[in-house]
A = this chain, B = another copy of it.
Amino acid sequence: MTKTPTLADVARRAGVSTATVSRCLNAPERVQRETRERIEAAVAEIGYSPNFGARALAAKRTDTIGAIVPTLENSVFARGLQAFQTGLVAQGMTLLLASSAYRPDLEAAQIRTLVARGADGLLLIGHERDPALYDFLALHRVPVLVAWVYDPSEPRPSVGFDNKAAMAEMTAAVLAQGHRRLATISGHTRFNDRTRDRVAGVRAAMAAQGLDPATLTVIETPYGIETGARAMADLMTAPHPPTAVICGNDVLALGALRQARAMGLRVPEDVSITGFDDTELSTVADPPLATVSIPHGEMGARAAIMLTEMVRTGAQPDSVALPCVLRLRGSLGPVPRAA
Contacts and interface: CB of A to CB of B under 8 A. Distances in A.
Contacts of A57: 51, 53-54, 56-57
A212 interface: no
Given A71-B82, A97-B97, 7 more contacts: A47-B139, A49-B140, A52-B116, A75-B75, A78-B78, A225-B284, A285-B285
B94 A50 contact: no
Interface string A79-90: 101100110010
Interface string A133-149: 00000011000000000
A95 interface: yes
Given A94-B117, A261-B286, A56 B52 contact: yes
| Chain copies in the assembled complex | 2
Interface in A94-132: 94-99, 101, 110, 112-118
A257 B288 CA distance: 13
B115 A49 contact: yes
Given A82-B71, A261-B286, A281-B281, A95 B94 contact: no
Contacts of A81: 72
B257 A64 contact: no
Interface in A275-322: 280-281, 283-286
By size class, the interface of chain A is 35 or more
A74 interface: yes
Contact of A78 (B53, B75, B283): B75
Contacts of A64: 96, 117
Secondary structure at chain A's binding surface: helix, strand, loop or mixed?
helix
A247 interface: no
A99 B113 contact: no
A29 to B, nearest CB: 21
A78 B86 contact: no
B99 A96 contact: no
A270 to B, nearest CB: 16
A99 B75 contact: no
B225 A280 contact: yes
A45 interface: no
A89 B62 contact: no
B95 A96 contact: yes
B50 A116 contact: yes
Given A53-B60, A258-B283, A261-B286, A99 B82 contact: yes
Contacts of A251: 280
A62 B53 CA distance: 8
